[in-house]
Every structure is written in structure tokens, then in C-alpha cells.
A = this chain, B = another copy of it.
Amino acid sequence: MNFKIEHSEGAARAGLLETGRGPIHTPAFMPVGTVGTVKAMSPEELKEVGSEIILSNTYHLYLRPGHEIIRNLGGLHKFMHWDGPILTDSGGFQVFSLSSLRKIHEAGVEFRSHLDGSRHFIGPEKAMEIQTLLGSDIAMAFDECTPYPAEYGYAVKSLELTTKWAGQCRAFQFNNLDDRGGGNRQQLFGIVQGSMYKDLRKRGLEELMGIGFDGYAVGGLSVGEPKEEMYEIIGFIAPLMPQDRPRYLMGVGDLRDMLTAVDNGFDMFDCVMPTRNARNGTLFTSEGRISIKRTEYRTDPGPLDPACGCYTCRNYSRAYLRHIFLAREILSMRLNTIHNLYFYIHFMQDMRKAINDGSFRQYKKYWEGILGQGA
């Protein structure tokens, strides 16, 4: 087994996911490196902020520079100079959110590139082939990310396709083992869809469990639905998921959402929120979010967050960070991203410590107070 739960408190788990490229301590946040770079960061800086794993996007790398080019250059890790674990998404979400003129067939999805309008087709085998050639440590099964809101009838058909494709992805993996050897093989996670319908979520999960995956992800949340609906699904589905496998809540990165999800037993998260916000000057601190633009920081000699130990907080004042943000300097995006990712990763590390100490409920309550009920 690649995954061990070391401690738990209620449903919350502190776990350890082993990969051929190193361990991932959970709960874990995965910074998003869409096109083979986490925006504004070097790989060394990612390590310094504590990242144990990053996510990269199959759809983007397939279109540019192309997965075969990356394979011929030694795989994605070598290409981007990152030797830690990489999870690649399946491309499903991006095909639906970024491409145009897409047509869904039983065999996959026909679409046009958002870059140049060229025509492409990705189905489950193709998605697996791409991820195998990229050489990621964790691959995701190809799914249809059901749009929100969805009629029940559409959600059923969409789920059936996702289940069918999941089976084909699993079969592809069995038949096309990569050459890394057993201990270092690519893991494959299935994705539970089913929109906001509990019976469909349950059915989808059970079908995936019937196929058997290394880990189980929940997709199609944080796509525009009210928070209550998302929390309903999270609370409903988590207890049904296999205890002994990692559980990944895709695309969720709001702090309160992650607290709730960990409380329900989720282990892994990814989101562009810390990196995108950083570039826009919105920073996460021990006292809540701040905008670095604020006039009061003009002469402020203090660090962004006195409670933070990141490179940015150790070496720069709020006044400087405000100045280079207003001047639109590249260093601003760098320093802000370092801070936000450090914050996110330490937020998870602290959750883990709290679970180990039996103080997670307290940690959650403390943070909910800071974040505010409406945040």
C-alpha cells in the first residue's frame, strides 16, 4: 500500500502517501504548475516553501509543447527541473472549461485548441497515453466535469460516460505499464462526478471502487454552486470513500473549504488561488487576507505577516512590497507567490500537526474565527 494513515481525529486524517519520487505528508496542498512551471516560482523556491508535490495540466502540455516532445526530452520532471512528485490532471476539466466547439462522443471529446483553434480529440486512452509519456507520478482518469447546474438526466449520462472512461483508463494502465518498475509505477486516481445529486455521487463512487484505483478524487465541486451545496456533497461522499486510499478534492483551495474537507476526511487539494491572488496583490496572513495595495502600508516597515517565516516576510517590508506591486515589478509577483504558497503549505502542515495532537477541531474553530463565517 502506498498510503498510510498515521493519526486521525474524528474523520480528519494525517497520512503519508509514498511515491517513487518521495513522500507526501497529508493533508497536502498541491501548487498548480499549469504549463510546466508554477507561475513566478523556481523549483528550488517550491522546495523552500515546503511543496512536496505539484500539479501540472495535461491539456496544456499536450497542446504546447506536446507530450511527445517532453517525453523525448526525458519526461516532465527533467523538462521543468523538478524532481519531486507530480500529479497530472486528466485534461477533462480543461477541455470543458478552456477549449471551444467541443463535441462529446462515447469515445472522447473533440475540441479546438484555445491557443490556435486547431482540432484535437482526447479520450481516455489518449489522456492516459499523454500522462504516461509526461511521466507524472499520479495520473488522473479522464472524466467529464459535469457543468453546474445540470439536469438530473444530463448528470446521469455524464456520470455513465465518466465511469466508462475510468474503466478504460484503468485498462490502459494495466496494458501499458510504464517502465519505471513496480515501486515507482505511476499511480492512477479515479474521479467521482455526479453533480449535486447524492445518489449519483454514491453510484459514481461505487462504480469507481468496483474498478479499483490508487486514490479517489471528487471533481465537479467549487464550480459555481452555493457553499452549502458543496459542503453537503463533501459531508455525504467522504464517509463512503475507501478509508485506506488518499482522497483528493479537486480544484478546491478556499481556506474554509479545505478546513471543512479535511474535517470530513479529505487529504489532498489543488487550486490556483494562492498563486493567482499573489500576482493580484492579495495575500494570506495569520490575520486573514490583505491587499498589499493599501495606502496604510506606504510607510510600513513591518513584514507582511509577523507570524510568517517565509523568505518574503524575513527580508522585505510591507512598504517595499507595496512599492514594487504598484510599480508592477516581476519581483512583486515572485515575493507574493512565495509568501502565499508558504502560507498555504504551512496551513496544511499545521492541520496535520493538529490532527497528530488531537487538536484539529480547535485549529478549525480558531481559523473559522479569523476567516469569518461569510468568508
> Roughly how many angstroms separate A65 CA and B321 CA in the complex, as a whole number?
11
A323 and B65 form a contact (CB under 8 A) = yes
Q: Which of B35, B41, B80, B316 contacts A81 (CB 8 A)?
A: B316
Residues of B within 8 A of A323 (CB): 35-36, 64-65
Residues of B within 8 A of A117 (CB): none
Q: Which of B73, B81, B320 contacts A319 (CB 8 A)?
A: B73
Residues of B within 8 A of A69 (CB): 298-299, 319
Q: Which of B42, B315, B326, B329 contacts A331 (CB 8 A)?
A: B42
> Roughly how many angstroms separate A326 CA and B330 CA in the complex, as a whole number?
17
What sequence of 0s and 1s flags, for each residue 237-276 of chain A, a beta carbon within 8 Å of any chain B beta carbon? 0000000000000000000000000000000000000000
Distance to closest chain B CB from A298 (angstroms):
7
Q: Which of A211-240 contact B (CB under 8 A)?
A: none
A330 and B331 form a contact (CB under 8 A) = no
Q: Does A104 contact B (CB under 8 A)?
A: no
Q: Which of B37, B72, B301, B334 contacts A73 (CB 8 A)?
A: B301
Which bucket holds chain A's interface residue count?
20 to 34
> Roughly how many angstroms separate A316 CA and B39 CA in the complex, as a whole number?
16
A35 and B79 form a contact (CB under 8 A) = no
A79 and B40 form a contact (CB under 8 A) = no
> Roughly how many angstroms separate A5 CA and B39 CA in the complex, as a whole number?
45
Q: Does A1 contact B (CB under 8 A)?
A: no
Q: Which of B80, B320, B329 contacts A320 (CB 8 A)?
A: B80
Q: Does A317 contact B (CB under 8 A)?
A: yes
Residues of B within 8 A of A324 (CB): 35-37
> Roughly how many angstroms separate A346 CA and B72 CA in the complex, as a whole number?
33
A-B complex: 3 closest residue pairs judged by Cβ atoms: A40-B330, A65-B323, A37-B331
The residues of A with any CB-CB pair to B shorter than 8 Å are 35-37, 39-42, 64-65, 69, 72-74, 79-81, 298-299, 301, 315-317, 319-320, 322-324, 326-327, 329-331, 333-334
Q: What are 15 sample pairs from A and B whose C-beta atoms fall under 8 A apart?
A: A36-B324, A37-B329, A39-B330, A39-B331, A42-B331, A42-B334, A65-B323, A69-B319, A73-B317, A73-B320, A79-B319, A80-B320, A81-B315, A81-B320, A330-B330
